[in-house]
Structure 1
Amino acid sequence: MTAPPVSLRNFTPTLHSEPSSQLLPANNPLPHAFSVVVIGASRGVGAGIAAAYAKAGATLLVLAARNTDDLASVASSIPPGKTKILTHHCDVSSSASVKALAAYVRAQLAEHSLSRLDACIYNSGFSGQVQLSITDGDPDDGQWETAFDINTLGTYRAAHYFVPLIHGEGEQATSDALAPGAFIAVGSFASLITTGIIANSKYCISKFAQIRVVEHLAEQFGRGEVEEPGIEGPKRRLLAVSVHPGAVNTQMARDSCPPEFYSYLTDSPDLCGAFCVWLMRDPERVMWLNGRLLSAKWDPEELLAKKQEVVEGDLLKFEAVTSK
């Protein structure tokens, strides 16, 4: 008898709304002097990601967003510890602003005697007013442009300027002994849907495109074989994944989804950060997940147990169905 199909939402039998003991950042200490930049860290899921990396003992944590006052509040809310927490303005719709953030991070890495960036977490996102039909709204209202500018092009801009920092520069990048670095985009299972009360076309389509950016990153840099100007010797491999954070009661969710969906927003804003830290505790162990769409709600041990199934079937990626 053929087993019933498993939906992506329920890919592991056990699902979590709060970080389990396996996911708690304090139980997943980062393995070495660790540097991370979180883009879109001023509230909600981004603030949870920032707190998770601090709890896991990151050495250098740079928080970026447009609202620097909110960033300062997030930074001050994290209990003091060994993590050096810095904040910096960044407008992801501006290439110049993302480039300036990368230059700032590069300078901070040098000041703290860190040869390379370990992780870039891209959490910035835009949903806008829910429009369930392509014919809704006004093509001149700028919402589609903003959705793609932040969700898709912002991801590209961040990858363009931060992947070189993850690889390291010059002579410091000649050793491949260090664990892989990571580019993690906070994605959404909304990229899978085309109908329903939250099938906001501009958001769903732009998040679909975001995941393709991540897939390309994994193909281009997952094996560390691509030559880059100014980077000599073996390149540090890159773990590039998209992570669905769950259904979180964030300001963006409340502003953009219909009231009848509010009761589904039950997942913790801390869940995604805990999952990202778990990935980076031992990135070599999860390199087989490269380029894939994951969920922070999945049970980590059950996910690891599916390695052979995922690798052999090349699962958790988009493809065109040609037969059933």
Structure 2
Amino acid sequence: MADMESWGFGKFGEFISKTHTEPYEATDPSKVRLPQPFVVCIVGASRGIGAGVAKSYAKAGATGLILAARRVSGLEETAAQCKKINPKVDIEIVPCDITKVEDVANLADKTKAKFGGRLDVVVVNSGVSGPIETKVTTIDPKDFQNAINVNYVGTFLSAKYLIPLLLSTEGGAKAFLAVSTFATMILRGPFASPTYSVSKAAQLKLVENVHEEFVGEGLAAFSVHPGAVWTEMNSDHAPEAFKPFFGDSPDLCGAFCVWLTKDGSQRHWLSGRLVSATYDVEELETKKDEIVEKDLLKFRLAY
């Protein structure tokens, strides 16, 4: 932990002292019964964390899932896993490159057509890290631009085309979630990649703005750190020596997302904030008054 503090995380772990690496009693989605109907769109659902999110909502009894990603074969595998968990769930698979306007607009159209305009929750999980380079002078401009396009612009497009469906769903959960990262806070050390950290910081600020723009209409916008999960994205770019730092379950984030959205507006006090799926939710709830009063868990200019 001392190393993580020196990298720019601050006093990591002190705000919420109890953390988890996998779903537990208070966040077990199989113990949840979501309102019926309940439709969830997961962008980036073909593998890893996104697939874990889809399976968590299937366990919780979602009636409809829209699974989107560029890789259709991965989506088909996720859909099969969700059907095995919950045979009654209705699933729509939509090929989607989150960086393309026409693809995300088509995703919204397919969602509207499939479920009669109903949409309760959007989870934007698509993300790229690019090669781990810690100096802007050694970064390939194409890698940097790609990270901006996927992590930031893709979230903007998802918000632009899917939020109208969330807002128009009468009695819906009205929740927009972006899978974020505590890496936005990294300033130095072996993980301090401007390509990833800066693009995800832009995403985080966008979600804060979405909260401010639509909170008056009942929308909640959450940024969720999924934990430290060793995904295919990490294995593509991070040295194997980094692997011991990534010990959290890919199912942890999905369970936390279900917890955030299962009870209508009960967790809206966390809207506009960066919260971690590793946080013990019972301890987190004891911090509610402090978080709201001090407006914590947001980007700030220190002075």
TM-score by length of 2: 0.93
- The question of 1:287 aligning with 2:268 is answered yes
Q: Secondary structure at the match of 1:223?
A: helix
Distance 1:38 1:315 in 2: 27
72-81 vs 16-25, which moves further:
72-81
8 Å contact kept, 1:116–1:167: no
8 Å contact kept, 1:242–1:292: yes
Letter in structure 2 aligned against 1:120: V
Distance 1:40 1:149 in 2: 14
After superposition, the Cα gap between the structure-2 partners of 1:127 and 1:6, relative to the gap in structure 1 and judged at 3 Å, is closer
8 Å contact kept, 1:155–1:210: yes
More helix per residue: 2
Letter in structure 1 aligned against 2:129: S
How far does the alpha carbon of each residue in 1:142-188 deviate from its partner, in whole angstroms, 9 at most, with x for none?
A: 111100000000000000000000011xxxx6x6xx25410000000
How far does the alpha carbon of each residue in 1:77-103 deviate from its partner, in whole angstroms, 9 at most, with x for none?
A: 221422112211000010110001110
Distance 2:299 2:94 in 1: 34
Q: How does 1:247-286 map to 2 (within 5 A)?
A: 247-286=228-267
- The question of 1:310 aligning with 2:303 is answered no
Instruction: State the shift of 1:255 in Å.
Output: 1.7
Q: How does 1:3-82 map to 2 (within 5 A)?
A: 7=11, 9-78=13-82, 79=84, 80-82=86-88
Instruction: State the shift of 1:44 in Å.
Output: 0.2
How far does the alpha carbon of each residue in 1:37-58 deviate from its partner, in whole angstroms, 9 at most, with x for none?
A: 0000000000000000000000
258-267 vs 285-294, which moves further:
258-267
8 Å contact kept, 1:62–1:85: yes
After superposition, the Cα gap between the structure-2 partners of 1:9 and 1:156, relative to the gap in structure 1 and judged at 3 Å, is farther
Distance 1:283 1:8 in 2: 30
Instruction: State the shift of 1:137 in Å.
Output: 3.0
Q: For residue 198 of structure 1, what is the aligned residue in structure 2?
A: 191
After superposition, the Cα gap between the structure-2 partners of 1:28 and 1:8, relative to the gap in structure 1 and judged at 3 Å, is farther
Instruction: State the shift of 1:116 in Å.
Output: 2.6
How far does the alpha carbon of each residue in 1:12-46 deviate from its partner, in whole angstroms, 9 at most, with x for none?
A: 11100010111110112212310010000000000
After superposition, the Cα gap between the structure-2 partners of 1:179 and 1:109, relative to the gap in structure 1 and judged at 3 Å, is closer
Letter in structure 1 aligned against 2:108: A
Q: For residue 6 of structure 2, what is the aligned residue in structure 1?
A: none
Identity %: 43
8 Å contact kept, 1:163–1:183: yes
Letter in structure 2 aligned against 1:59: T
Distance 2:13 2:274 in 1: 11
Letter in structure 1 aligned against 2:177: I
Letter in structure 2 aligned against 1:208: A
70-79 vs 185-194, which moves further:
70-79
Q: For residue 164 of structure 2, what is the aligned residue in structure 1?
A: 164
Letter in structure 2 aligned against 1:198: F
After superposition, the Cα gap between the structure-2 partners of 1:9 and 1:143, relative to the gap in structure 1 and judged at 3 Å, is farther
Q: 2:122 aligns with which of 89, 96, 120?
A: 120
Q: 2:210 aligns with which of 217, 221, 232?
A: 217
Distance 1:52 1:91 in 2: 23
Q: For residue 240 of structure 1, what is the aligned residue in structure 2?
A: 221
Q: For residue 144 of structure 2, what is the aligned residue in structure 1?
A: 144
Q: Secondary structure at the match of 1:311?
A: helix
Distance 1:293 1:191 in 2: 10
Unpaired stretches in structure 1, ≥5 consecutive residues: 225-236
- The question of 1:297 aligning with 2:278 is answered yes
How far does the alpha carbon of each residue in 1:177-229 deviate from its partner, in whole angstroms, 9 at most, with x for none?
A: x25410000000000111111111110000000001100110000121xxxxx
Distance 1:103 1:13 in 2: 43
After superposition, the Cα gap between the structure-2 partners of 1:180 and 1:85, relative to the gap in structure 1 and judged at 3 Å, is closer
After TM superposition, the runs of 4+ consecutive aligned structure 1 residues lying more than 4 A away are none
Distance 2:31 2:271 in 1: 23
- Matched pairs, number: 293
Q: How does 1:170-189 map to 2 (within 5 A)?
A: 178=171, 180-189=173-182
Distance 2:233 2:10 in 1: 29
63-72 vs 253-262, which moves further:
253-262
Unpaired stretches in structure 2, ≥5 consecutive residues: 1-8
Distance 1:157 1:105 in 2: 15
Letter in structure 1 aligned against 2:69: A
Distance 2:54 2:105 in 1: 21
